[in-house]
Amino acid sequence: MIDNWIDDRYHLTELLDQGGTSLVFYAEDEETGDEVVIKILSPALAERPEYAEAFKKEAQVLSRLHHESIVRLLSTGDKGKLKYFTMERIEGETLKKALQEDSLSIAQKVKIAEKICGALDYAHRMGVVHKDLKPANILLKDDLDPVLLDFGISEAPAISKEEGKEIFGTVQYFSPEQARGEKVDKSTDIYSLGVILYEMMTGELPFFGEDSVSIALKHLHQVPVAPAKKNPQMPESLNRIILKSLQKEKGRRYHTMAALQKDLSRCLEEPDGAYVTEYKERKKRRFFKSRPRRYGFAILAGIVGALLLSFAVFVVLNTLGVLKGDSSGKVFVPSLTDKTLEEAEAILKGLDLTVAYSYQASGVTGEGYVISQSPEMGSFLDRGKTVSLVVSAGAELDKTVPSLKGMGEEDALRMLNDMGFINTLVTYVENTGLDDRIVVSQNPTAGEKFSTDNTVYLTVNRLGDGEVRNIPALVGKSIETALDEAADNGFGNVILTLSDTDSTPGIVLSQFPTTDMTESDFDTLYLTIQEPQGNYSVSGTLQYEGQFTEESVLVATIAFEVEGRHYEFIIAEGVFENSGEYATIYPSGLAYKAKVGNLSEDKGYTLRVYLNYEVVYTDYVP
């Protein structure tokens, strides 16, 4: 029971919120005459050390945060069962209410998000992660300046799941690592802000379901529908920013709030979003009868994707007037995938082409959007000819997932493939009490209805058939140290992707494989690093002439051999329909430039081209 007066000083006037651990009131401070907000730990929990300590730490967190967009702590009190702290009262409404009213323009939403980024960047630099970002915890003042509230789980105690379900975040805004119960860092706030941005721009959450478990699983395993498909009025730049923030892998999101804020500040002036890269989820390896455990560039390289390249070709050819036809009367067929049927029809009509279409169930491509086309992008057709489209009819959950637990890996993969489940991702554990190559768990579970376009996840037991290579923890280390440790642990090759963030030059930002993986046949480490210090850069033109007839993944690198270490910088990557498309994009060769710092100064290097993960071209540059 809480009296209307607290400490003979604060007069409670209105209950604002009552959560699992605390109560929040408006109150009048009789000493100052000010109206304040007071947060009180539930008396039933006040004598439990873990809750009392967590409440105390929340106040301590607020006491060291001094930012215009973070609520300000005024005072604290601790008298037995009465534990409280007071905060400034800010007039306004929550972002949640503003979104329900649908009263904000896109420009206003972007400005609000920029300021939220600024506040969180400050908090992160002060060593504080919010962990429970949601529109209800963001207050908008009359001038629409946001103020962050409720850092209550930034220092959450170790409490059982049953007791603590109210204080460990809100599942609709969970990051995948929160859903897995892992330790979280600033990447979690970046993901949660991505969810908020998605909701701000579309009016919907990226994932929803009947219960918390189903929503958490979607954060772990499903790719959200691109927000631009739900709100065609938003610029492509925002679409990419949101998708990049919502990457499942922490290392593929924005690395800092400052980097996210920087991209947001450009999005309205550069709406095409060309400056936002690596915003697509990493493609999952498809497993068939070939070696299902082999990993290639597709796992880490961050392939740009056919759509981006198609768009680039479309722009170039349009500029040259090719789309309007040439002397032979033929017209260039653009990429129509991921466009609505109406958009595709309008484009083809403008090119004097007709359209035929059929529908196909898809759990990946949104209903009404083009899945594929024939002829493919890059073809030339006579005017009046027909382009055939396959359009998504939405997910058709007509397949029952079989029971795979206890089955051999190869048999399980073959069964899934025969049933039409072509996307399967296998991870491995080592349990000496179980047979080798046996499926120990699966998601979705047996008997569940599931679209064949979605990914089935299997966990397979793999007993060591030799030395299991130690995978060093390299994130946060200098690239020089990382290369040394990679070599010391038997990794004969390191593939490097350069990133331009506000991080320390030459620092490793992410790695694959991660330290929790126990694959014994990894021989390559993939690292994303901040551009290193030093003035040494390499540049030139790669004269590789594409020789391929079907869609292929192409990755170009510059490779160095220094003191027994082998490492390569990725200089270009993409998915090309055929060699003709590659030649159109790079008619004079692939120009490259990469800053490699002092790692390889005055050393020769080798240009390499990988086509579908196999080396097809090398050229030594002294």
Tell me the catalytic residues. 132
What is the Cα–Cα distance from 495 to 564, expressed in whole angstroms? Answer: 15
The contacts of residue 461 (CB under 8 Å, 6+ apart) are 428, 429, 430, 431, 434, 435, 436, 437, 438, 439, 440
For residue 131, the tally of other CB atoms under 10 A from its CB is 24
Closest C-alpha to 560, from 580, 578, 536, 543: 536
CA gap 387, 432 in Å, rounded: 56
| Dist. CA 302–CA 549, nearest whole Å | 23
Q: Which two tokens stand for residue 596?
A: 């490699």
Task: Count other C-beta atoms under 10 Å from residue 100's C-beta.
Answer: 12
Q: φ, ψ for residue 97 (rounded to 5)?
A: -70, -40
SS3 category, 40: strand
Structure tokens at 581: 């498309």
Phi, then psi, of 620 in degrees rounded to 5: -85, 135
Which two three-digit tokens encode residue 76? 């604290």
Strands 93-94 and 35-41: unpaired
Cβ–Cβ < 8 Å for 77, 40: no
Distance from C-alpha of 201 to C-alpha of 196, rounded to nearest angstrom: 9
Whole-angstrom Cα distance, residue 560 to residue 603? 8
DSSP 84-150: EEEEE---SEEHHHHHHHT---HHHHHHHHHHHHHHHHHHHHTT-------GGGEEE-TT--EEE--
Instruction: For tokens 């072509």, name the residue.
Output: 422
CA angle 30/31/35 to nearest 5° reads 55
Inter-residue contact 195 to 99 (CB < 8 Å): no
> Strand 354-360 relative to strand 386-392: parallel, antiparallel, unpaired?
parallel
CB neighbour list of residue 536: distance below 8 Å, 6 or more residues apart: 595, 596, 597, 598, 599, 600, 601, 602
Residue 228: what are its φ and ψ, rounded to 5°? -65, -25
Question: Counting beta carbons within 10 angstroms of the beta carbon of residue 4, is it exposed (0 to 12), middle (13 to 18) or buried (19 or more)?
Answer: exposed
* φ, ψ (nearest 5 deg) of residue 575: -110, 125
Dig out the tokens for 329 from the structure: 């009367």
| Residues contacting residue 372 through CB under 8 Å, at least 6 positions apart | 337, 389, 390
Q: Which DSSP state fits 171?
A: G
SS3 sequence of 374-423:
ECCCCCEEECCCEEEEEEECCCCCCEECCCCCCCEHHHHHHHHHHHCCCC
535 Cβ contact list (under 8 Å, min separation 6): none
| C-alpha separations of 209 from 178, 219, 239 in Å | 17, 11, 23
